[in-house]
Structure 1
């Protein structure tokens, strides 16, 4: 199930992977620093 979120295919869901998911979900609605 986590392979979907592992954007760099390293076998782990990292902080950066989660940020990518949040970008996809929120678009421009939330600023970058708010996501972090």
Structure 2
């Protein structure tokens, strides 16, 4: 159970990081006017 819970937490962290990266890239593209 602990492993599954930790895996879930890890997935949540990776998802939030990925979303942050996507938002940053989109913001940079808007600034560049692409």
TM-score range, shorter chain: 0.3 to 0.5
Q: What's the TM-score once normalised by structure 1's chain length?
A: 0.36
Say which one has the larger Rg: 2
More helix by share: 2
